[in-house]
Amino acid sequence: MSKPKIDTDERQSPLGAIIADMIAADGPMPVDRYMALALGHERHGYYMGRDPFGRAGDFITAPEVSQMFGELIGIWCAAGWQMMDAPAEWNLVELGPGRGTLLADLVRACSVMPGLREGMKVHLVEMSPALKTMQAETLKRAGIDATWHDRLEDVPDGQSLIIANEFFDALPVSQLQKQAGQWHERVVGQTADGKLTFGLASDPVAPALVPSWTAGAADGDVAEFSPARDAVAREIGRRICKDMGAALIIDYGHIRSAVGDTLQAIRKHQFADVLARPGDADITSHVDFEALTDAVTADGAKAYGPVMQGDFLIKMGLKEREEMLRARADARQRIRLSKGAQRLVSGNQMGQLFKVLAVTHPDMPKPAPFNVEPA
Ligand code: SAH
């Protein structure tokens, strides 16, 4: 991603006015509540009524960059299905499927494995009515039947492969900030002239709520943690251990827990003020893969990685896939293919910021590409 400019449009959004009213009535709200409203407010939440992806939208995700992304994840799924001993019936679960592009590419690629497609049940976890409609259209064109759910808990039990690309970064984070040696919850309040502004809860939080990795932090440091992410990760691990299965989690973030304020807003491919126009900008924060790994393995599942997205895709055969597609592509398509591959793997674009974590039942062999020794 090239460094976007700051978007300075500060007119109040409809949701901004609603949040200001809530704060006037109940006092400042914790950051996680603000983020949950900004993204998921029934009427005005960022994801609820629009297609945010692509050139005309606010940001672009890996499946929209190149079909090869979903196809390589399809190959990972085919290998995962074999590692589950090729069950006659199984669930393919995707969390936050966006436009449904990844799923369509994935299913096309993994369906070449004989016997895999017949017993495959597709379950999508999605909160946005607008995106559900869009996913249904994409899957209809691809000839894929699916069932939608609001939460992972609602997906039926059974052997499962679970995929999440850029899902966890959209789940709300809480923030603490250190002040005069004590940690306070960061909250959203408002100024005298009605503008949203960050502040700190007056009472410090109970020491038991402060993550141990914050030891050594200085005054002013911010620590993020996410009960919402931990709960979904824990549910993934629990399902995999109970019924057999594996998961692939891809997101941008850091390998080790560390202090830092990573909350950000993106609007029309530019960084925006997180508080300026809630509901009109995508708000995310970096995923803490150490915390995610702890949660997903809490019930006994095994985790592999995280590895850089670039390394993962190359080991899964990106170059070979590109060559194959090039052989039957015209000149324009070839340029698209090589630009897409470049964007997915290169260190200054998506290749290093994005990480991949694989999770399996403890009795399953090492998943691809962790089963390939370095040459
Ligand atoms: N995986 C897609 C989309 C990523 S954007 C891609 O890579 O292109 C995040 C997706 O998660 C969107 O589909 C959004 O509507 C969905 N989402 C965000 N928060 C959610 C929640 N709490 N429950 C269910 N879906 C959610």
Task: Please report whether residue 367 resides in a domain.
Answer: no
280, part of any domain: yes
DSSP 253: E
Locate the ligand 1 atom nearest the alpha carbon of residue 125 and give its number.
Answer: 24
Q: Is 125's C-beta closer than 6 angstroms to any atom of ligand 1?
A: yes
Interval 187-206: pLDDT, tens: 999 998 889 999 999 999 99
- Angle at the Cα of 208 (from 205 to 211), degrees rounded to 5? 90
Its domain, for residue 273, covers: 5-360
Residues 347, 341: Cα–Cα separation, whole Å: 12
Residue 283 resides in a domain:
yes
SS3 content of the chain, % helix, strand, coil (to 5): 35, 25, 40
Question: What is the arithmetic mean of pLDDT over 151-164?
Answer: 98
Does residue 98's CB lie within 6 angstroms of at least one atom of ligand 1?
yes
Higher pLDDT residue, 54 or 286? 286
Element (H, E) at 309: helix 309-315
- At residue 113, the pLDDT reads 95
Question: What's the rounded Cα separation, in Å, for the pair 247 and 256?
Answer: 20
CB 131 less than 6 A from any atom of ligand 1: yes
| CB 170 less than 6 A from any atom of ligand 1 | yes
Residue type, 207: P
Any ligand 1 atom below 6 A from CB of 45 = no
- Closest residue by Cα to atom 6, ligand 1, is 98
Give domain status of residue 125, yes or no: yes
pLDDT single digits (tens) 265-323: 999 889 999 999 999 999 999 999 999 999 999 999 999 999 999 999 999 999 999 99
Q: Is residue 371 in a domain?
A: no
Which residue puts its alpha carbon closest to atom 20 of ligand 1?
A: 127
pLDDT at 50 over 90: no
Specify if 308 maps to a domain.
yes
Compute the mean pLDDT over every residue in the chain, rounded to the nearest whole number.
94
374 has pLDDT over 70: no
The string of pLDDT tens digits covering residues 328-344 is 999 999 999 999 999 99
- Testing ligand 1's pocket by substitution, the residue of 105, 124, 128, 354 carrying the most ligand atoms inside 8 A of its CB is 128
Position 2 scores a pLDDT of: 40
Q: Is 74 in the pocket of ligand 1 (CB under 6 A)?
A: no
Q: Is 165 in the pocket of ligand 1 (CB under 6 A)?
A: yes
Distance CA 197, CA 183 (A): 19
- The tens digit of pLDDT for each residue in 74-130 reads 999 999 999 999 999 999 999 999 999 999 999 999 999 999 999 999 999 999 999
User: 4-13, 92-101, 255-264 — which is least confidently predicted?
Assistant: 4-13
Q: How far is residue 249's CA from residue 312's CA, in Å, rounded to a whole number?
A: 12
State the total domains in the chain.
Answer: 1
Say which CATH number the domain at 192 has: 3.40.50.12710
* In a domain? residue 366: no
Provide the pLDDT for residue 301. 98
Confidence grade of residue 3 (pLDDT, cut at 50, 70, 90): very low
Residue 333 lies in a domain: yes
The response to whether residue 167 sits with its C-beta less than 6 Å from ligand 1 reads: yes
